[in-house]
Structure 1
Amino acid sequence: MKKFLLLLHEDIEKMNELSPKEMGELANAHMAWATKLAESGHLISGEGLHEKGVLITGKECVIKDGPYLESKELIGGYYLLQANDLDTIVQFAKECPCHLWGGTTEIRAIMEMDQYEQ
């Protein structure tokens, strides 16, 4: 099976406006969705990400604290999934709970390094 990274882009302002009850509902929706993915054999892993991090850039390895760009979006989490094809992952991604509050999912195929070996 091929591996795919599903990145969850979330609107910072909308997330900050959620009530504690809505945050709980969102967390529960993610747990239920992850359970569905696991039961179908498509979930490898998934986690939420903190808003802030560290960026290391250039030859000089300059370290910057995040957030890194003026943006209304952040990557709030990820799921590492597996399937035979992209279309399967697209169908799962349409059900991702981050869409309930205006989020966006980005799907990136994981490169298979053996395709580059000669």
Structure 2
Amino acid sequence: MKKYLLLLHDDLQTIQNLSPKEMEGLVQAHMDWTKKLDAAGHLIAGEGLEEGSIQIKGKQSVIKDGTFLESKEMIGGFYLLQANSLDEIIELSKECPCHLWGGTTEIRPIMQYD
């Protein structure tokens, strides 16, 4: 099976405006989806990410803060999945709970080195 990184781009304004009950529903939806992926043999790993980040750039290793609040979206989490084809991972990704709250999924195939 081929591996794919599924990046979850959350709409910051939408996420920040969720009620506690809606946030609980979002978390539960991800837990349920994770169990479904695991049972079907697609899940390798998955985690939520905190808002802040650090970027290290160039030969001089310049360090700067990332994920600024002016951004309209942030990467709120990821799943590392496996599937037989890109078409299969696309179909699986359509069910990602982040879409229910205006989020976007980005699929990145993992390079295979022989």
TM-score scaled by structure 1? Answer: 0.93
CA distance, structure 1, for counterparts of residue 35 and residue 113 of structure 2 = 29
CA distance, structure 1, for counterparts of residue 72 and residue 63 of structure 2 = 22
Q: Are the aligned partners of 1:44 and 1:81 in contact in 2 as well (CA < 8 Å)?
A: yes
* Residue matched to 1:14: 14
Following TM superposition, the consecutive aligned residue runs of length 4 or more in structure 1 with deviations greater than 3 angstroms are none
How does 1:64-79 map onto structure 2 within 5 Å?
64-67=64-67, 70-79=70-79
The alpha carbon displacement at 1:53 in A equals 1.2
CA distance, structure 1, for counterparts of residue 83 and residue 19 of structure 2 = 35
Identity of aligned residues (%): 65
CA distance, structure 2, for counterparts of residue 7 and residue 103 of structure 1 = 10
How does 1:1-118 map onto structure 2 within 5 Å?
1-67=1-67, 70-114=70-114
SS of structure 2 residue aligned to 1:113: coil
Cα deviations by residue, 1:85-107 (Å, 9 ceiling, x for unpaired) = 01111011000000000000000
CA RMSD of aligned residues (A): 1.1
Distance 1:69 1:111, change over 3 A: farther
Cα deviations by residue, 1:45-97 (Å, 9 ceiling, x for unpaired) = 00000110110001100001122584201000000000110111101100000
Distance 1:101 1:69, change over 3 A: closer
CA distance, structure 1, for counterparts of residue 2 and residue 93 of structure 2 = 15
**2:21 alignment partner AA:** K
In the alignment, structure 2 segments of 5+ residues that lack a partner are: none
Q: Are the aligned partners of 1:55 and 1:68 in contact in 2 as well (CA < 8 Å)?
A: no
CA distance, structure 2, for counterparts of residue 111 and residue 68 of structure 1 = 29
CA distance, structure 1, for counterparts of residue 57 and residue 68 of structure 2 = 11
Q: How many residues align?
A: 114
